[in-house]
Structure 1
Amino acid sequence: MTELGPHLLLHYDYVDDMAERRVPHREAHLAYLRRWRDDGRLLMAGAVGDPVHGGLLVLRGNDPAVAEELAAGDPYTDAGLIVSWRVEPWTVAV
């Protein structure tokens, strides 16, 4: 699969005061995402906003079930920090 696609965007919506509330769960969350990156399914991920209000993750492939699996297993989900998530196909042009 080339870098130009297909890809999925996984959008997270976070709880209020996420910057403070994520602290005890952050290392587990980052370790989880690194495993997904290391196995080639996750290209990049990061927090959105200042103050932080969401996350954006870019996954390889076009199977939404893979993104749902990532979100469902994220330690932030287990901790109740992700209010909702959605998956969208991303057509990379350049």
Structure 2
Amino acid sequence: MNHYLLIYTVAPDYLERRGAYREEHLALAREHQQHGNLQMGGALAEPADRAVLVFRGDSPAAAEAFVRADPYVKNGLVLSWEIRKWNVVVGG
């Protein structure tokens, strides 16, 4: 099993706009977590300009599916994103 980081760069007004889509976004995250794909995730602070989600699987497919379904992406709160394989050396 590999780890994959999904890294979002979010819009400058992300914090103000996310409320309209937050429940749908969190429901999607919980769904992926229940399936064992999403290990953890959250927004970076000071500044709140990015978010990072950690996926686990044989391929980046779960992270890619998350992006396609995420209301934050669909509604322009995410300006760009990338998925990177993460070679974990210590821990989980």
Residue 61 of structure 2: aligned partner: 65
Shift of 1:83: 0.7
Q: In the aligned structure 1, how far is the partner of 2:61 from the partner of 2:81?
A: 13
Q: TM-score, normalised by structure 1?
A: 0.88
8 Å CA contact retained: 1:12, 1:84:
yes
**RMSD of the alignment, in Å?**
1.2
Which of 9, 12, 24 is 1:16 aligned to?
12
Shift of 1:57: 0.4
| Structure 1: runs of 5+ lacking an equivalent | none
Residue 41 of structure 2: aligned partner: 45
Q: 1:1-41 CA deviation, whole Å, 9 max, x = no partner?
A: xxxx5100000010111111111111111111010001100
List, as ranges, runs of 4+ consecutive aligned residues in structure 1 with deviation greater than 3 Å.
none
SS in 1 for 2:9: strand
| One-letter identity of the residue aligned with 1:92 | V
Identity %: 42
| One-letter identity of the residue aligned with 2:84 | E
